[in-house]
Amino acid sequence: MRIVFIGDIFGRSGREALQKHLPAIKETLNPDAVIVNGENAANGAGITEKICKQFYEWGVDCITTGNHVWDQREVIPYIARDKKLLRPVNYPPGTPGVGVCRLKISEGRTLTVINAMARLFMDALDDPFAALNEIVKEERLGKTTDAILLDFHGETTSEKMSMGHYLDGKVSCVIGTHTHIPTADAQVLPGGTAYQTDAGMTGDYVSVIGVEKEIAMHRFVKKMPGERMRPASGEGTLCGALIVTNDKTGKAISIEPIRMGGSLSQAMPAA
């Protein structure tokens, strides 16, 4: 199975980068599924029904989120209806929406997408390790599902790397989001799980993690509140990864970075 995962879509620049580059990704890499993290797609804070529908029209199969999922309040009734728009699975019981999606793809195969959120320097949610442990008891690679991808949304490299090793051999891929900077550690772990600490942001990198750099710098230099944060509006870089799995075992064969457009060095897996 060939899975494309695209990191945090940040504001208009991120949406434009997705719209611009996704057709070439689909044509060149021929993915079976495209997953994006969309929690910052609406002006850098949250996501809306309109944006979700645009993403689906452009060829996205499932949308993950994170701690900004509720920033646009209109999404609350919508997420209860859209089972392909995920919120972290370790939110308390009764929270609207779901954290797991089972996608039916070509040749009768199934891809299970999971969204979970870390806890270090993040909101105090339920234990993500315990939540994932229960899920992988039911969703078993090569038996109940053909592949499992986890978007682990978190601040610290240590917690994300711990999750990767904790699930090694039990899921196809653990890929991190939230810090908006692509890490250089894409690898297949010893048990067969593809891993990357952070897929990076899809947005304008002539910025401070997607925000206009002057506004962000002011807060560090002056140590005082300044203007409201605004997404940078230059050309965006699409960041993500291609994960290839073995259809018999569900384990990963490879993970390779994708970087297209904007100011970062470019990277595209071989077709």
Report the CATH number at residue 254.
3.60.21.10
Confidence tier at 209 by pLDDT (50, 70, 90): very high
Instruction: Report whether pLDDT(131) > 80.
Output: yes
What does the alpha-carbon distance between residue 236 and residue 262 come to, in Å, rounded to a whole number? 5
pLDDT tens string 225-258: 778 889 999 999 999 999 999 999 999 999 999 9
Residue showing tokens 């029904």: 49
pLDDT category at 219 given cuts 50, 70, 90 is confident
Evaluate whether residue 66 is within a structural domain: yes
Residue 215 has pLDDT above 90, yes or no: no
Q: Is 180 a catalytic residue?
A: no
> Does residue 113 form part of some domain?
yes
- DSSP states of 227-247 as a string? SPP-B--SPPBEEEEEEEE-T
Domain annotation covers residue 192: yes
Q: Say what the pLDDT of residue 226 is.
A: 74
pTM (two decimals): 0.96
Quick: pLDDT tens for 144-195. 999 999 999 999 999 999 999 999 999 999 999 999 999 999 999 999 999 9
The number of domains in the chain is 1
Domain interval for residue 154: 2-201+238-260
**Is residue 197 assigned to a domain?**
yes
- Nearest CA to 231 out of 31, 5, 11 is that of 11
Whether 213 is covered by a domain: the verdict is: no
* Burial tier of 110 (Cβ tally within 10 Å: 0-12, 13-18, 19+): middle
Which of these is catalytic: 68, 153, 178, 180?
68
